[in-house]
Every structure is written in structure tokens, then in C-alpha cells.
Amino acid sequence: MQKRKLGKSGLEVSALGLGCMGMSFSYGPPKDKKEMTALLHAAVERGVTFFDTAEVYGPFINEELVGEALAPFRRQVVIATKFGFDLSPDLDPRGMKGAPGLNSRPEHIKKAVEGSLKRLKIEVIDLLYQHRVDLSVPIEDVAGTVKELIGQGKVKHFGLSEAGAQTIRRAHAVQPVTALQSEYSLWTRTPEKEVIPTLEELGIGLVPYSPLGKGFLTGKMDEKTTFDSSDFRNILPRFTPEALKANQALIDLLARIAKQKQATPAQIALAWLLARKPWIVPIPGTTKVNRLEENIGAVAVELTPDDLSEIETATSKITVQGARYPEKLEQMTGR
């Protein structure tokens, strides 16, 4: 597995990480713990060193799973987690209906970190993200609190998730930001306008989540696809039958390039991200070893300038249908 550094921070991780959310949260019921532990071990064996979780995933059970499964490999892996939500006992398991409110007050961050350290069975969090920007707390106070935690040896690196360019600048001025995690893929290109140039200027890495469009870019879905009742894609405008049908043009493009490269659409989607910048590290999630291996195979797929130009020309003619989140959740991004 190739390695990459997240910006100028010096934090080196595998070129592809593993998003662990779907093992416990959002994509149907939590998966079998033994099977997910085996999957996490399989990822380490195949060279993955970067694992992504959050206290809200479950809530809490994903951190516990990741902590327990990766305990034998602690010295060779980088674990990222997130704070920023108020987690009450009546939280909907999908984390969407009656979604938890934001809370990035300094005392809450400190409490969240203590909980994450315990569940992850670690002494220091490698990369700690603010999950969503909380407009009721100045980002300087958030960055200052994480700076304090870094000084105490409880956190190594500071990250933001779904933050806008100005917020990134303000946070970075207080405590250098190692990475921004945001949705970025061939069907979600919002970061290209302002965020990616800002990251390049400041030397901050980008960690795209949902790099396979929550499964859509694998080419395994169409307008007839249905999801488990507890799958949060049921509430996403981009996953209505009409939107799935309209967005097939993107899959047709990926399939065409994949055929030329003797690869799969998912591998092309990931290879495209890897080709964008050397400091981009996608974190596709999966619950299956064969998909893990397919995703890792993307690292070996080389897209030439001509390939990238062909993709750019084709995608410029495709308008993706459907918002990526319902309005309430969309409002939490890019601020």
C-alpha cells in the first residue's frame, strides 16, 4: 500500500483509509461484531493504516468496535475520531430523525475526548475532528481547546469536517489544522471552488468521505434499488428512484473508463480522487472483505492526463440530480 502525508503536518497514512461508520450506523442495522473485527484485521493485513470513526456512530458502539479490533495493532495504525454532537439517550439510531444538536463548547469537547479515549482503548487520539461547525461557539475557542488537549498529550492532530474556507483559516490561525474531512467525489464536487484552494495554500490534507457516493458510484444501484428501513439513504434526496435514474449517466461514464482500464467503476472513482492531489486520502467504507480488496485495488489504477481530461469533459455535461442531504442537514455543511 502506498503512503501519503496529510498536507504539511507530517501525518503519514495509507493512500486509502477505511471509513468505519457503516459497520455500526446509518447503513441499516449494526453488523456482526466478529465479522467487522475480522474486516478491520483484514484491512490492517492489506496495508491500511488509517481508520475513521466518531462518537456519534451508534452512538458510541463504532468507537468501541474500532478500539477493540485495532488494539493489537495500535503502533501501526492512525485512528481518527470526531466530537461535536450532543448525544442523548433518545437519539434515533440513524442519527437523522430528531438528529442530535451541535455542541462544541470547550467543556463538552474535553468530556467527549475522555469518552473517546476510553472507548478506543488508546492514550492519545491521532486525529481529532470537529464533526460539524457549531455557529454558537467561536471556532477560535474550539481550536484553542484542541490546542490545549494537544498540549496535554491527549490529541496529536486537529481536524475539521465540512467546514467552509473562512472557518478553516480562522481555526488554522489558532491551532494548525492537519486535515479537513468533507464529502468529495465525482458526484459531489463542492469543495473544488473555495475549500481545496484554501487547503493547498495552508498545507492541509483532504480526507474525502463517501468517495463512492454512498455506494452509488460502484455502479450497483438503479432506480429499483431499495434500502433497509433503518438505512439513512431513504431520506436523502439523491437516492429517490427519480434521482438514481437521472444520475446513471455518471455510472455509464465510469463503466466506460473502467472497461478501458480493466478496472471497476468504484476503482475509477477512487483513482480519480487520488489523482487530484497528492495530499488527498479517501476513506471508502465497506462491510465486506471483497469490497475492501476492490477499493484497495484503486491505488494501482493509473489515470493518465488524457483519461482525466476525458472524465472532466464528460462530467461537465452531466448535472447531478438531487441534493446530497435534506435541508436541515445540508445547513450544517460548508459554514
> Of these residues, 57, 129, 184, 209, which one is catalytic?
57
**Could you give the CA distance from residue 272 to residue 254 in angstroms, rounded to a whole number?**
10
Place of cell 481545496: 196
Q: Take residue 273 and report the three cell numbers written for it.
A: 480522487
User: Quick one: CA dihedral 221, 226, 231, 234, positive or negative?
Assistant: positive
189 alpha-carbon distance from chain centroid: 14
**Could you give the CA distance from residue 56 to residue 131 in angstroms, rounded to a whole number?**
9
Contacts of 212 (CB under 8 A, 6+ apart): 185, 218, 266, 269, 270, 284, 295
Q: Please classify residue 319 by burial: count the beta carbons closer than 10 Å to its beta carbon, then call 0-12 exposed, 13-18 middle and 19+ buried.
A: exposed
> In whole angstroms, how large is the CA radius of gyration of the chain?
19
Active site residue 57: yes
Q: Which positions are annotated as active-site residues?
A: 57
